[in-house]
A and B are shown apart, each in its own frame.
Chain A
Amino acid sequence: MPSPIRLLVCADTALTVELGDDIDRDVNAAVLALERRVLSARLPGVVETVPTYRSLTLHIDPAVADPGELGPAVLRLATGEPPLPPPCRGWRVPVVYGGAHGIDLDAVAGRHGMSPAEVVARHCASEYRVFMVGFLPGYAYLGGLDPRLALSRRPSPRPSTPAGTISIGGRQALVASVAAPSGWHLLGRTPVRSFMPGRDPVFLFEPGDAIRFEPIPASEWDDLDRAAAAGETVARPA
């Protein structure tokens, strides 16, 4: 039974359409489908859209549209004919696990009573889905983590973690694009730049993309990192 749709107004500049209150692949797929319908409907005054785990936010120019009055039109779209399934792009993302690149791998293994190799194998076995790109540019929040790896956040966040950090928190996985504080568990690091000004494309991952991680030896880091710094995507389309 799907939860009822909630319309949440953010003053005069946005309308958030909440399709559920959980982190769930079906809810997220419904969010992305609604985004496609909203974009193709070209509602006047809608400046841009932001899909998140379970909601779609429409940023609105209040000189053109009233977020309080857009609700019915959006609800009609949300309950209309199901759209075509969104195109799914796949990526293979190389990761150096453990050691200096993933300082929490051994601790995560210890907490789960697994070997570090088993944690890596389980982290690489899943096909993830990009549920949301948010917080910072290119930060890709992924659903699909093996439930046996789930682990609540660290009690105190680290003040800085490097760009490219591959981490897990709760039942989610993350590809970090820029250096930032983090309370998640750092399993590894990818040379892939999911956000790189000056490169075409600037952003690599779209909401809805599928991602698989591939372990690579630390000895390959320098070459791949250099290639990525020169503008190669390094992540391979799957």
Chain B
Amino acid sequence: MSAHLLVLECGPATSIQDAGRFGYQRQGLSPSGPMDALALAAANALAGNGPGTAALEFALSGGRLRAVGGAVRLALAGAPFGLRVEDEPVADHRAFTLYEGAMLALAAPRRGVFACLAAAGGLDPPAALGSRAFHRRAGLGGLDGRGLRAGDRIPVPAAPGGPERALGPLPLDADEPIRVVLGPQDDRFTRTGLDTLLGSAFTVSAQADRMGVSLDGPAVEHGPEGFNIVSDATVFGSIQVPGSGRPIVLMADRQTTGGYPKIATVISSDLRRIAQRRPGETVRFQAVSVEEAVRLARERAGLIAALPGRLVPVSTREERLMAANLAGAAVDALGDALGP
């Protein structure tokens, strides 16, 4: 049974993202994929999907969607977007049904930037080069190679119902340092430049999007060889420093190669920290070892793999309370046993 989500309104940076499109960086195409991979995995776990299933990614702006042609099961994770179904509030990090014809509204978040809205069975537009992830510069993925706009219809499997499940909130870590490993071109900076990177407070500038996050703050000083290198490859998290000395963190839709030296690289488990910082918010960097970065990446991979087991069956509690009420006995004792 095919249903779809009709987009009534959305911000300009709303897009469809899945785990990403790998294998084409040698052709100049960066993988795209979620800015907050944990948010995508959590939303998908709530919806009963695998962690990299295609979902909607919202950035700073909310929107309105309507279920057409059938009911769909949805769940949002990431920045708190203030969900309402037909004007009734719905908690984040909880699966819910959007009945046929019902409208879901997302309010712009006051904290964080990105959230993912997953649908049971996954969003199902045609894939491009093996992925549904939208890449703006390439005009690939998403819906017909473009971002979302009002009037779009996103194919999604109809799902009349499903288990009521919730997850604890994902901390946005707004005050935590962004951990980096120095290099690959830290030798192209002076001691002062390295100290500036690791000892200063930077601010996320207005130039922050899926390609890169440009930082305001003290200039990071290059060494005597200057700020041009023979271009080499970038990664999600490369911190390149152009001639201005203002660092730019390269993100999911980045250029695949670059000719500015990269002073450090954000570790993969902290990419969501930098992604979720809003323009004007503070960024501090902290250096860690490669071993520590790998350890944290494996811890994150373990957490993502364990997400389905961490789902809390919310409605079971309500049903059991209801059953207890009907039985007319021991409501308080049952409440104690279930906990908060």
Q: Do A and B bind each other?
A: yes
Q: Which of A23, A49, A136 has the most CB of B within 10 A?
A: A136
Distance of B63 from chain A, by nearest CB (Å) = 26
Whether the pair B28, A10 counts as a contact (CB closer than 8 A) is no
Residues of B within 8 A of A16 (CB): 184, 232-233
Would you give the 0/1 interface string for A126-153, flagging 1 where the beta carbon is closer than 8 Å to chain B?
0000001111111101000000000000
> Would you call A68 an interface residue if the criterion is a C-beta within 8 Å of the partner chain's C-beta atoms?
yes
Chain B residue nearest in CB terms to A180: B137
Contact yes or no, B28 A197, CB < 8 A: no
- Answer yes or no: B238 CB below 8 A from chain A CBs: yes
Given contact pairs A13-B235, A62-B297, A67-B290, A139 touches B26 in the complex (Cβ within 8 A): no
* CB within 8 Å for A57 and B232 given contacts A13-B268, A138-B28: yes
- Cα A35 to Cα B233 in complex, Å, equals 14
Query: Is residue A178 within 8 Å, beta carbon to beta carbon, of the partner chain?
Result: yes
CB of B181 within 8 Å of the partner chain: yes
Known: A11-B237, A55-B233, A137-B24. A197 touches B291 (CB 8 A): no
Given A8-B183, A50-B256, A178-B138, A139-B235 contact (CB < 8 Å)? no
A26 is an interface residue with CB less than 8 A from chain B: no
| Least distance between B98 CB and chain A CB atoms (Å) | 31
Q: Chain B nearest CB: distance from A44 CB in Å?
A: 14
Q: State in angstroms the CA–CA spacing of A189 and B53 once bound together.
A: 40
Determine whether the beta carbon of A134 is less than 8 Å from that of B235. Answer: no
Q: Does A134 lie within 8 Å of B28, measured CB to CB?
A: yes
Task: Report how far A136 CA is from B25 CA in the complex, Å.
Answer: 9
User: B138-194: which have CB < 8 Å to A?
Assistant: 138-140, 145, 180-181, 183-185
> Would you call A48 and B145 a contact (CB within 8 A)?
no
Q: Give A51-79 as 1s and 0s: 1 = Cβ < 8 Å from B's Cβ atoms.
A: 11111010100110011100000000000
How distant is the Cα of A18 from the Cα of B266 in the complex, in angstroms? 21
User: A33 on the interface (CB 8 Å rule)?
Assistant: no
Contact mask for chain B residues 203-242; partner A; CB cutoff 8 A; 1 contact, 0 none? 0000000000000000000000000001111011110000
Report B292-304 CB contacts with A as 1/0, cut-off 8 Å.
0110111001000
Residues of B within 8 A of A221 (CB): none
A54 and B230 in contact, given A11-B181, A16-B184 (Cβ under 8 angstroms): yes
A138 proximity list for chain B (CB < 8 A): 27-28
Q: By the criterion CB–CB under 8 Å, are A23 and B230 in contact?
A: yes
In the docked arrangement, what's the CA distance between A63 and B300, Å? 9
Name B257's contact: one of A10, A47, A52, A203 (CB within 8 Å): A52
Partner of B298, one of A22, A63, A133: A63
Q: From residue A5, how far is it (CB to closest CB) to chain B in Å?
A: 14
| A10 & B184 in contact (Cβ 8 Å cutoff) | yes
The reply on A9 being an interface residue by CB < 8 A is: yes
> Closest Cβ of chain B: how far from A105's Cβ, in Å?
25
In angstroms, Cα B286 to Cα A140, docked, is: 36
In angstroms, Cα B5 to Cα A82, docked, is 55
CA distance A206 to B24 in the complex (A): 11
Q: Nearest chain A CB to B291's CB is how many angstroms away?
A: 7
Instruction: Give the Cβ gap from B105 to chain A, nearest Cβ, in Å.
Output: 33
Taking a contact as CB atoms under 8 Å apart, the answer to whether A59 and B183 are in contact is: no
Q: Determine if B235 and A59 form an interchain contact, defined as CB atoms under 8 angstroms apart.
A: yes
* A202 close to B (CB within 8 Å): yes
**A9 proximity list for chain B (CB < 8 A):** 181, 183-184, 290
Residue of B nearest to A21 (CB): B230
Please state if A11 and B255 are interface contacts (CB–CB under 8 Å).
no
Interface set of A (CB-CB < 8 Å, partner B): 8-14, 16, 18, 21-23, 35, 47-55, 57, 59, 62-63, 66-68, 132-139, 141, 177-178, 195, 197-198, 202-203, 206-207
Report, nearest first, the 6 A-B pairs whose CB atoms are least far apart: A134-B257, A8-B184, A57-B233, A62-B297, A11-B265, A12-B293
Q: Which residues from chain B sit less than 8 Å from chain A, CB to CB?
A: 22-29, 128-129, 137-140, 145, 180-181, 183-185, 230-233, 235-238, 255-258, 262, 265-268, 290-291, 293-294, 296-298, 301
In the assembled complex, 23 residue pairs joining A and B whose CB atoms fall closer than 8 Å, in A order, are A9-B183, A12-B294, A13-B265, A13-B297, A14-B235, A14-B265, A22-B230, A23-B230, A48-B25, A50-B256, A53-B230, A53-B231, A62-B297, A66-B290, A66-B294, A68-B294, A134-B231, A135-B258, A136-B137, A137-B24, A137-B27, A137-B137, A197-B139
